[in-house]
Each structure stands twice: as C-alpha cells, then as structure tokens.
Structure 1
Amino acid sequence: MLSREEAPREGLIRLALSPDGEVLPDVRAKAPGRGAWIAVNRAELEAAQAKGKLKGALSRSFKTGDVRVPEDLGARIEVQLQRNTLDRLGLEFKAGHVAIGGDRIENAARSGQLHLLLHASDASEDGARKLAQAWRVGTDREGTDLKGLTLPVPRTILSLALGRENVVHAGLTDARAAKRVSDALDRWLHFIGPDPGLEPCETHSQGASAHGNDVRPTEHDEEHTEGL
C-alpha cells in the first residue's frame, strides 16, 4: 500500500539520480537536481527493493520511468554514512574539539567538559566503564546509566579517521561539536539497524528513537518520494 507523509529532513537520507538514471546515495545532500528523502534502515530498504516497491516509488518521485536501483544500494548508503560520520569526527578533532587518550578524556570528564564519549568496537569493557564512571562523576549523575557509545568500527578505523595511532576512545569536549557528531551518528546507526553489541549513550538513544521503524520514504518540500 502506498502513502505519503511529511517529515523533518534531519535524520533522513537523500537519494539522487545520476544523468544515466542510476539512483545514488547523497547523504550530504550536495548533488543537484530533484532528490528523494527516505527514513528507512538498511534491512527495510532491501526488503522493499526485493518486493519491487522501491523502484516504483522512486520512479514517481523522480518523475521518470528511467530509474535504475543498484542491487547494492543499501551497502553504498551505509558506506557513505560511515564516511560522513568519521569525516565529521576528524574535522572536529582538527578543530580541537576531541580529546583522545584515556587520561585526557578522564580529566575532561571529571571536570565537566565532556559532552560525548565514544569507544571503538574492540575497546575493553574495563576502559569504557572507567571513562563512563568519570563522566557520571563530572556531571553529577552518579547512579544513572549515562555511558559512552560503542561505534561499529574497530580502533584501526577510528585511528585512521583521526590521523592518530591506536585511538580506542574519543571524547567530544565542545557541546556544538558533540551535536554535529551526534547527528551524523544517529543517521548512520539508524540505517544499519540495532546491534546488541552497541551501547548507545543517552543522547543517541533519544535521537534514534525519533526515527522509529518507518519503512516509507518521506516527503519534504519539493524533494520527496511516495512512501512504500
């Protein structure tokens, strides 16, 4: 059944149409022309694609029957979302908004300067627990479940993103920088879907819940697609 709905652009993923009719991810919303904004995770996207619903909805959105949806569209979107998040984290590090190294992060946490705590997927539980405890102490939230977020990438990828060796933990020490990273993270984590190995922090659990489980591409301004 097809439906249409409006939704805020934040958290959505934009798709664009190449000159030869191929549907491509445009997660930074920079490509020219008409776009389609979707609010689905990868599993939902691929299920709709397998049923043939996605192509029809996108054809209506782009107002052309010459639409080719690549079989690996979900994988392409995931790669772009990961790159966008890690690039944003790298930019914030260069701007001096990211602390790395256990001691520096712990000092920032205990002094109330930590706004977002991130861990590589292969970080030790003890190390993550110690930093989370320092964060709770520094924000007078002892006894709560405030903790960091375990990223779905290992330290090798996190280190590459920051241009440093053996980065296991990272802490955002600027509130606005933390919000920018959080926004990118929310879209990435929502798209790849729930992972029992991830431990979202308070900020992300609230942000991700806003997306719900809506499998329908959404309407926004002049760029939209009919829902699935």
Structure 2
Amino acid sequence: MPRHDGGEKPQRSCLACRETRDRDRLIRFVLSPQGEVVPDLDAKLPGRGAYTCIDAACLAAAVKQRQFGRAFKREVAVPTPDEMTAQVAKLLLERVMGYIALANKAGKIVAGGSMVGDALKSKNKPGLVLVARDVSEAIGEKIAAQAAGNNVPCRWVLTKDDFGALLGKAPRSAIGIKSSGFVVQLLKTIERYRNFLGEVQ
C-alpha cells in the first residue's frame, strides 16, 4: 500500500468490488482471538484489518466469495451473508440512536412536530431535523418542507416510538438537533447507515 503524504487519507480496497476508497469510507473488519470476523466501525481494534464498502451488497458478496479467509490468510469463522449484514446494520443504527441519546442528555434536542416547526421559525433554528419513518405522509412532508425552506438538513430515520424511547417521552413524529457538534456526527452516521442499506447513491 503506498504511503500518503501531504495530508492525503490512507486508502484501502473493498474485498468484494475491489474499488479503492479512503479508509474512512469503508467498513473495517478484524479477527477476534477466536478467529471470528468482527466489524470494527471505529477502526480502532488491534490486528490486521479487512475492508468492504459501506454497502450491504458488497459485504454479502465478500462473505459468499469467502474473501475474509483470503484476506486474513487463515480459516475464519464468519456468519452467513444475511446474518453479517444484519449485524452491521444493527451496529450502524445503534450509532445513530446513541448520538441522539447523547444530544438529548446535553439538552440539544427539540422534540415533536409542532415544537420542531416552531424552532424552524425562530432565530435559533436547529442544525438538523429528523423525521420518523412511520409518520403520516402529510405531517412528514410538512416538516421536511419547513426544514428545506429554512436551509436545514432533514433526514428520515427511526420510528416515532424510537424517538420517544430515546427521549424518555411519548412517541414523537420529529426531533430537531440544535446546532452543535452532534449535527455533524449525526449526519455522518446517518449517511453511513443509509449508504449501507442502499438508500444513498
């Protein structure tokens, strides 16, 4: 692998499609002491790493083609393609939920469709709006239009019950994240999750 100077990011190749990308645009996998293939979303676990695109199709193909054994040059224990993609999707979704919970703990969340709407009309607009996937189309589109009209990013993720559980409240149709470092982290994490599901090209 060539060295990268001048601030260039290190690159790696996807086990399945062989496309080379910046390392932080891939998912890293390592071997556990028991020889099990383990996702390393933070890319911090010790040992040799193997990579796939942030794409369930690439991960499933890597498993089917037995690419992890070739990459680690030994026999490895790896779940089925469906199990592996479900495991990574769950971990990515947990990251999204974790950042929302942290933002709530820090007092950076406005919850509820009407509250988010009011916040979008105020001087201190939220930096990000999240709309529940299972909200009614009329309500969801209204909130999304309000966000767009105020140049605030809007993403559809989780459910009304998920929002409520994370905030310790009744179900909520939408939440607003006040401008803070949580906005950047959530946008990045949601993008990775949606990319993995094939929702973002």
TM-score after normalising by structure 2: 0.79
- Report the 3-state secondary structure (helix = DSSP H, G, I; strand = E; otherwise coil) of the residue aligned with 1:10: helix
Contact map agreement 1:12 1:187 (CA 8 A) in 2: no
Q: Structure 2: where are the runs of 5+ without partners?
A: 1-14
Counterpart check, 1:59 vs 2:69 = yes
Residue 159 of structure 1: aligned partner = 164
- Report the 3-state secondary structure (helix = DSSP H, G, I; strand = E; otherwise coil) of the residue aligned with 1:166: coil
Partners in 1 of 2:20 and 2:61 — Cα distance?
22
Question: 1 or 2, which has the higher strand percentage?
Answer: 2
Contact map agreement 2:99 2:182 (CA 8 A) in 1: no
Change (3 A) 1:187 1:136: closer
1:9-57 deviation digits (Å, cap 9, x = unpaired): 334222121111110112233433222232141123223433x2xx33x
Counterpart check, 1:184 vs 2:194 = no
What letter matches 1:159 in structure 2?
G
Question: What does residue range 37-52 of structure 1 map to in structure 2 within 5 Å?
Answer: 37-50=51-64, 52=65
1:68 CA drift (Å): 1.9
4+ residue runs of structure 1 moved beyond 3 angstroms?
Answer: 1-6, 136-139
- RMSD (CA atoms): 2.5
Contact map agreement 1:117 1:169 (CA 8 A) in 2: yes
Contact map agreement 1:101 1:170 (CA 8 A) in 2: yes
Contact map agreement 1:128 1:148 (CA 8 A) in 2: no
- Report the 3-state secondary structure (helix = DSSP H, G, I; strand = E; otherwise coil) of the residue aligned with 2:21: coil
Identical-residue share of aligned pairs (%): 29
Residue 148 of structure 1: aligned partner = 154
Q: Structure 1: where are the runs of 5+ without partners?
A: 140-145, 195-207, 210-228
Partners in 1 of 2:135 and 2:62 — Cα distance?
35
1:42-86 deviation digits (Å, cap 9, x = unpaired): 123223433x2xx33x23433x31222211111111111111111
Instruction: Find 1:104's aligned residue among 112, 115, 124.
Output: 115
1:129 CA drift (Å): 2.5
1:188 CA drift (Å): 0.7
1:154 CA drift (Å): 2.1
1:135 CA drift (Å): 2.5
1:105 CA drift (Å): 1.0
Contact map agreement 1:11 1:183 (CA 8 A) in 2: no
- Report the 3-state secondary structure (helix = DSSP H, G, I; strand = E; otherwise coil) of the residue aligned with 2:22: coil
TM-score after normalising by structure 1: 0.70
Residue 118 of structure 1: aligned partner = 130
Partners in 1 of 2:141 and 2:69 — Cα distance?
49
| Structure with more relative contact order (C-alpha pairs < 8 Å, separation 6 or more) | 1
Change (3 A) 1:2 1:27: closer
Partners in 1 of 2:126 and 2:31 — Cα distance?
41
Q: How many residues align?
A: 184
What letter matches 1:67 in structure 2?
V
Partners in 2 of 1:105 and 1:137 — Cα distance?
13
Residue 15 of structure 1: aligned partner = 29
Partners in 1 of 2:43 and 2:167 — Cα distance?
24
